[in-house]
C-alpha cells in the first residue's frame, strides 16, 4: 500500500514539473535568457513554462503570469502566445515574474503583506519598454474582455473587468 502510494505520488509530482516553454509563436526560454542576461547578469536559475489554453475566453479576469517560489518557476498564460501580442509585452510579464524572485513580498508589523511594494515597482520601471508594455496592456484588456470598463488590479499580472 505504502509502495503504491509512493509510486503514485512520484508520478504525480513528475507530471506537475513538466515545463513547456516552446509555444506556437514565442519560446519563453529564449525570452527568459535574454532578460536574465540584460537585467540580472545571468544570475537567475528559474524554470519557465506556458500554461492554460491559448483560445480561452475569460469573462471577468485572467492571470497573465505567476511566480511559484517553492518550485522556483514562472508560468505564463498561453493567451499571450499570439502574433498580435508584441514580443516586448510577453517579455515585460516574464521580467515582472523574475522580479518576484529577486524582490520577494515584504511583511509589515501590522501583518500586512505587500507583493508589489515600492522597491518592486521602481525596479519594474527599469524595463526598457515599460511604457509601451503598459499601453499594450490596456489594449489587450479591451480586446480580451471587449469592454471599456476596465480596472487596474493590485496584482499587476492579472487583468480583469472588476477591482479586487
Q: In the beta sheet, which residues pair with residue 151?
A: 160
Least distance in angstroms from the C-beta of 67 to Zn ion: 7
Classified as helix, coil or strand, 74 is strand
Measured from each CB, the residue nearest to Zn ion is 157
Q: Which is nearer to Zn ion, 81 or 157 (CB)?
A: 157
Least distance in angstroms from the C-beta of 49 to Zn ion: 17
Quickly list DSSP for 112-153: -EESS-HHHHHHHTTSTTHHHHHHHHHHHHHHHH--S--B--
CB 151 within 8 A of CB 161: yes
Query: What angle (nearest 5°) sits at the alpha carbon of residue 105, between those of residues 102 and 109?
Result: 140
Least distance in angstroms from the C-beta of 103 to Zn ion: 10
Q: Which is nearer to Zn ion, 78 or 156 (CB)?
A: 156
Least distance in angstroms from the C-beta of 116 to Zn ion: 6
DSSP 8-state symbol, 63: E
Candidates 22-30, 85-93, 131-139, 151-159 — which segment interacts with Zn ion by CB under 5 A?
151-159
Candidates 9-17, 33-41, 72-80, 154-162 — which segment interacts with Zn ion by CB under 5 A?
154-162
Q: Which residues bind Zn ion (CB under 5 A)?
A: 157
Amino acid at each position: 500500500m505504502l509502495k503504491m502510494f509512493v509510486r503514485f505520488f512520484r508520478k504525480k509530482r513528475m507530471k506537475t514539473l513538466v515545463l513547456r516553454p516552446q509555444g506556437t509563436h514565442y519560446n519563453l526560454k529564449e525570452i527568459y535568457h535574454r532578460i536574465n542576461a540584460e537585467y540580472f547578469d545571468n544570475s537567475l536559475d528559474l524554470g519557465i513554462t506556458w500554461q492554460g489554453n491559448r483560445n480561452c475566453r475569460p469573462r471577468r479576469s485572467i492571470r497573465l503570469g505567476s511566480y511559484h517560489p517553492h518550485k522556483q518557476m514562472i508560468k505564463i498564460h498561453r493567451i499571450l502566445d499570439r502574433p498580435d501580442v508584441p514580443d516586448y509585452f510577453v517579455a515585460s510579464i516574464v521580467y515582472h515574474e523574475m522580479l518576484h524572485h529577486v524582490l520577494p513580498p515584504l511583511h509589515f508589523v501590522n501583518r500586512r503583506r505587500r507583493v508589489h511594494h515600492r522597491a518592486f515597482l521602481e525596479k519594474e520601471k527599469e524595463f526598457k519598454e515599460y511604457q509601451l508594455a503598459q499601453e499594450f496592456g490596456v489594449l489587450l484588456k479591451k480586446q480580451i474582455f471587449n469592454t471599456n470598463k476596465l480596472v487596474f488590479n493590485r496584482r499587476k499580472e492579472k487583468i480583469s473587468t472588476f477591482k479586487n
